[in-house]
């Protein structure tokens, strides 16, 4: 099986050859495969970036909530309260949209998206939200000094917190 080459390399090799490319020819198929491969890789990269940015939204919210406090450690209940307040802010926006919605009119796209977001956040909280471990003093210190980039989160300890948790299981704590 031939080695896969990038689109730039394939087009460079094709530009060296003289003549036109036939639609059923080997070179055309090679160019087509490279184009599809490049598009697929680009889409995977965009999906990964979007997933990471969605995960960082709650981290940035938690940072804004704790940056003016002097506490070095937080309990599980404090973390749950932070997550609940994070979800509540979207519920308030949704309630305002529903209040301003006129009867007999179709639901706006923004309202549908917000409904799905709230539903997803509730599900995430039931199954487990991945948040920085605020019971660790070093993570709290690093979170307060965080600059908002994904690379800077590697120093955080993360834990999955769900609505029904009673205590921190030691097995769930992980470094990212």
- Domain limits for position 116: 73-175
Give me the sign of the Cα torsion angle 117, 82, 128, 133: positive
The reported pTM is 0.73
Q: Is residue 82 included in any domain, yes or no?
A: yes
pLDDT tens track for 43-79: 999 999 888 888 899 999 999 999 888 888 899 999 9
pLDDT of residue 90: 93
Assess whether pLDDT exceeds 50 at residue 171.
no
Q: Is residue 24 included in any domain, yes or no?
A: no
Q: Is residue 165 included in any domain, yes or no?
A: yes
Q: For the chain, what is the domain count?
A: 1
Residue in 78, 77, 57 with CA at minimum distance from that of residue 130 = 57
Structure tokens belonging to residue 171: 């097995």
Q: Is residue 49 included in any domain, yes or no?
A: no
Q: Is residue 56 included in any domain, yes or no?
A: no
pLDDT tens track for 84-93: 999 999 999 9
Structure tokens belonging to residue 150: 């994904």
How far lies 75's CA from each of 1, 64, 131, 166, 168, in Å?
Answer: 56, 18, 13, 11, 9
pLDDT of residue 18: 64
């Amino acid at each position: 099986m031939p080695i896969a080459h990038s689109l730039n390399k394939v087009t460079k090799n094709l530009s060296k050859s003289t003549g036109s490319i036939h639609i059923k020819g080997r070179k055309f198929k090679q160019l087509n495969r490279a184009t599809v491969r490049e598009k697929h890789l680009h889409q995977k990269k965009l999906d990964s970036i979007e997933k990471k940015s969605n995960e960082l939204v709650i981290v940035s919210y938690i940072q804004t909530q704790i940056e003016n406090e002097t506490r070095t450690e937080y309990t599980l209940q404090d973390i749950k309260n932070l997550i609940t307040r994070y979800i509540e802010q979207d519920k308030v926006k949704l309630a305002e949209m529903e209040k301003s919605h006129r009867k007999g009119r179709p639901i706006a796209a923004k309202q549908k998206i917000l409904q799905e977001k709230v539903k997803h956040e509730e599900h995430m909280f039931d199954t487990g939200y991945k948040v920085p471990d605020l019971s660790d003093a070093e993570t709290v210190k690093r979170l307060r000094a965080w600059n908002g980039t994904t690379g800077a989160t590697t120093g955080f300890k993360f834990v999955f917190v769900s609505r029904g948790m009673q205590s921190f299981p030691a097995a769930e704590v992980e470094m990212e």
